[in-house]
Structure 1
Amino acid sequence: MCGILGVINSGTIDRILVSKALGLLAKRGPDDFGEWQESGVYFGHRRLSVIDLAKTGHQPMVSFDHRFVIVFNGEIYNYKEVRCLLEPSVSNWNSDSDTEVILAAYAKWGTNCLKYFHGMFAFAIWDRKDKVLFAARDRMGIKPFYYHYSSSCFAFSSRPRSLFYLEPALSKEIDEQGLRFYLEAGYVPAPHSIYKDVRKLPPAHYLLVDKKGLRLERYWDYRHIQPELSWVHRSEEELLDELDRLVSRSVESRLISDVPLGAFLSGGIDSSLVVAIMAKRLSQPVKTFTIGFADKAYDESSHALAVAECLGTEHHCEHLQVNDLLQLLPTFQEEYDEPFFDSSAFPVMAVSRLARKHVTVSLSGDGGDELFGGYHYYQIAQKINHFFDLPPQLRSVITSLIERLPQHKFKLLSGALRQPDRASAFAFSRSIAKDFGGVLTLDLIERTKSIYALFSSAAEIFPRELHPSEQGMRLDAFYTLPDDYLQKVDVASMAFSLESRDPLLDQDLIEWAMKLPLQWKLRGGVNKYLLRKLAYRYVPQRILDRPKQGFGVPIDSWLRGPLESWAEDRLYDKTLFSKVPLDQSAVLALWKMHKSGKRNVHPLLWAILMFLNFFDRYGAE
Structure 2
Amino acid sequence: MCGITGILKLNDTKVSEKSLGRFTHSLAHRGPDGAGLYINKEGNLGFGHRRLSILDVSDRGKQPMSYDNGRYWIIYNGEIFNFMEIRNDLIKEGYKFHSDSDTEVILASYQRWGKDCLEKFNGMWGFAIWDAKEKKLFLARDRFGIKPIYFLYIPRTIFAFASETVAFKYLEGFRREVNIQNMASVIHDSFSLEGYGKTIFNHIEEILPGHFMEISFGGVPRQVRWWNTLEHLAEVGNSYDSQVNEFRDIFENACLIRMRSDVPIATALSGGVDSSSVYCMLHSLMKNRNNKERIPRDWQRAFAAVFPGTENDEKIYAEKVAEFTGGVIKYNEPNLKNLPQKVIETTIKFDSIYFSPIIAATNIYESMRTAGVKVSLDGHGVDEMLYGYQPLVENAYFLALSQQNQEYASDILNIYEEMLFPGVKDQTVKNLLEKGRKWKIFIPESVNILKRILRFKLTDSWLRESINHFYRSKRDLVLQFSKNIFRVDFLSYQSFHLTTLPTILRNFDRASMQHGVEVRMPFMDWRLVSYVFSLPMQSKIGHGFAKRILRDAMKTLMPESIRQRKLKIGLNAPMVDWFSGPLREFLTDTMSSKEFLESTVWNGYEIKQFTDKKLKDNSLSYSDCIRIWPYINAHIIMLNNSKDYTFHENN
Hey, what does 1:564 align to over in structure 2? 584
The one of 335, 354, 365 aligned to 2:349 = 335
**Could you tell me whether the CA contact under 8 Å between 2:464 and 2:602 is conserved in 1?**
yes
TM-score by length of 2: 0.83
In the alignment, which of 247, 252, 263 is matched to residue 251 of structure 2? 247
SS at match of 1:295: coil
Match of 1:37 in 2: 39
Judged with a 3 Å threshold, the aligned counterparts in structure 2 of structure 1 residues 573 and 461 are, in CA distance, closer, same or farther, namely farther
- 5 Å-filtered alignment, 1:389-428, equals 407=427
* Contact preservation (8 Å) 2:30, 2:52: yes
- Alignment: residue pair count: 596
Q: CA deviation at 1:477?
A: 0.6
Aligned-partner Cα distance in 1 for 2:256–2:248: 12
2:20 aligned partner? 18
Judging changes above 3 Å, is the alpha-carbon distance between structure 1 residues 427 and 331 closer, same or farther for their aligned structure 2 residues?
farther
Residues 311 and 574, structure 2, Cα contact 8 Å, conserved in 1: no
What is the RMSD computed on CA atoms of the aligned residues?
3.4
Match of 1:485 in 2: 504
Q: 1:436 to 1:449 in 2, by over 3 A?
A: closer
Q: Structure 1 residue 618: deviation in Å? A: 0.6
Q: Is the 8 A contact 2:284 2:557 kept in 1?
A: no
Please report how far the alpha carbon of residue 550 of structure 1 lies from its aligned counterpart in structure 2 after TM superposition. Answer: 1.4
Displacement after TM superposition at 1:20 (Å): 2.3
Specify the alignment match of 2:485 in structure 1. 463
- Within the candidate set 530, 533, 536, 2:552 is matched to 533
- The match for 1:403 is none
Q: Match for 2:563: what amino acid?
A: L
Match of 2:332 among 301, 308, 318: 318
SS of match in other structure, 1:515:
coil
Q: Deviations over 1:345-365 (max 9, x none)?
A: 322212212222142211011
Q: Per the alignment, do residues 365 and 454 of structure 1 end up closer, same or farther by CA in structure 2, a change over 3 Å counting?
A: farther
Change beyond 3 A, Cα 1:201–1:435 = closer
Whole-Å separation in 1 of the counterparts to 2:215 and 2:33? 30
Letter in 2 for 1:123: F
Shift, 1:296, TM fit: 4.8
What is the deviation of 1:108? 1.8
TM-score (norm 1): 0.87
3-state SS of 2:221 partner? strand
Q: CA deviation at 1:578?
A: 5.3
Cα 1:445–1:254 shift into 2, 3 Å: closer
- Check if 1:201 corresponds to 2:203: no
Residue 346 of structure 1 is matched in structure 2 by 359
SS at match of 2:209: coil
**Deviation readout 1:131-151 (Å, 9 max, x if unpaired):** 111001111111111110121
SS for the counterpart of 2:278 is: helix
Matched, 1:183 2:202: no
Asked whether the 8 Å contact 1:175–1:193 carries over to 2, the reply is: no
Instruction: Give the 3-state SS of the residue equivalent to 1:213 in structure 2.
Output: coil
The equivalent of 2:291 in structure 1 is none
For residues 251-285 of structure 1, give each alpha carbon's deviation from its aligned partner in whole angstroms, at most 9, with x where no partner exists.
Answer: 00011111111212222222122112211333667
Contact 1:570 1:613 survives alignment (8 Å): no
Equivalent in the alignment of 2:292? none
CA-to-aligned-CA distance 1:435-482 (integer Å, 9 cap, x gap): 98333336x33533269979965774352354xxx3222111113344
The residue type paired with residue 3 of structure 1 is: G
- 8 Å Cα contact 2:138-2:214 kept in structure 1: yes
Give the aligned partner of residue 319 of structure 2. 305
What amino acid is aligned across from residue 591 of structure 2 in structure 1?
L
User: Corresponding residue for 1:215?
Assistant: 222
Give how far 1:409 is off: 7.3
Counterpart contact for 2:458–2:468, Cα < 8 Å: no
Sort the Cα spacing of 1:57 and 1:86 in 2 relative to 1 into closer, same or farther, 3 A. same
Query: 2:628 maps to what in 1?
Result: 605
User: Is 2:37 the partner of 1:57?
Assistant: no
Alpha carbons 1:269, 1:535 under 8 Å: kept: no
Distance 1:260 1:216, change over 3 A: same
- The equivalent of 2:391 in structure 1 is 377
Q: For the Cα contact (< 8 Å) 2:190–2:503, is it kept in 1? A: no
Measured against aligned partners, the alpha-carbon deviations of 1:182-235 in whole angstroms (never above 9, x if no partner) come to 42235522310111200011111110011431100111111456697x85xx33
Q: 1:382 to 1:43 in 2, by over 3 A?
A: same
1:25 is displaced (CA, Å) by 1.2
Question: Percent identity, aligned pairs only?
Answer: 27
Check conservation: 1:187, 1:340, Cα contact below 8 A.
Answer: no
Question: Partner residue of 1:394?
Answer: none
Counterpart CA distance in 2 for 1:614 and 1:362 is 28
Alignment correspondent of 2:412: none
Cα pair distance change 1:33/1:459, threshold 3 Å: closer
Question: Which whole-Å CA distance do the structure 2 matches of 1:268 and 1:249 have between them?
Answer: 21
> Given the alignment, which residue of 143, 153, 161 partners 2:158?
153
Alpha-carbon separation, structure 1, partners of 2:459 and 2:574: 20
Pair 1:514–1:140, CA change in 2 (3 A):
same
Q: Distance in 1 between matches of 2:347 and 2:373?
A: 25
Pick closer, same or farther for the CA change 1:598–1:280 going to 2, 3 Å: closer
Query: Could you tell me how far apart the structure 2 residues matched to 1:429 and 1:566 are?
Result: 39
Aligned twin of 1:401: none
In the alignment, is the contact (CA less than 8 A) between 2:496 and 2:502 conserved in 1?
A: no
Measured against aligned partners, the alpha-carbon deviations of 1:93-143 in whole angstroms (never above 9, x if no partner) come to: 221111111111112211111111111111101111111110011111111
Question: Unpaired runs of 5+ in structure 1?
Answer: 391-405
- Give the conservation status (yes or no) of the 8 Å contact 2:147–2:509: yes
Q: Which amino acid aligns with 2:5?
A: L
CA distance in 1: counterparts of 2:589 and 2:459, whole angstroms: 22
**Mapping of 1:95-106 within 5 angstroms?**
95-106=99-110
Residue 512 of structure 1 is matched in structure 2 by 531
Distance in 1 between the 2:548 and 2:16 partners? Answer: 56
Counterpart CA distance in 1 for 2:580 and 2:360 is 20
**For the residues of structure 1 that align with 2:446 and 2:478, how far apart are their CA atoms?**
5
- Out of 143, 146, 164, the residue aligned to residue 147 of structure 2 is 143
Secondary structure of 1:353's counterpart equals helix
Q: Which moved more, 1:294-303 or 1:200-209?
A: 294-303
Distance in 1, Cα, partners of 2:560 & 2:461: 45
Q: Which residue of 2 aligns with 1:269?
A: 273
Residue 94 of structure 1 pairs with residue 92 of structure 2: no
Matched residue SS, 1:20: helix
Do residues 522 (structure 1) and 536 (structure 2) align?
no
For 1:489, what is the secondary structure of its paired residue? helix
Asked if the contact 2:264–2:373 (Cα under 8 Å) also holds between the matched residues in 1, the reply is yes
The worse-fitting range, judged by mean Cα deviation, of 258-267 and 503-512 is 258-267
Structure-2 separation of matches of 1:78 and 1:382? 35
Where does the alignment leave 5 or more consecutive residues of structure 2 unmatched? Answer: 288-296, 405-425, 645-651
CA distance in 2: counterparts of 1:312 and 1:517, whole angstroms:
36
Q: What pairs up with 1:256-295 in 2 under 5 angstroms?
A: 256-282=260-286, 286-295=300-309
| Offset at residue 503 of structure 1 (A) | 0.7
Paired position in structure 1 for 2:168: 163
CA distance in 2, matches of 1:180, 1:423: 24
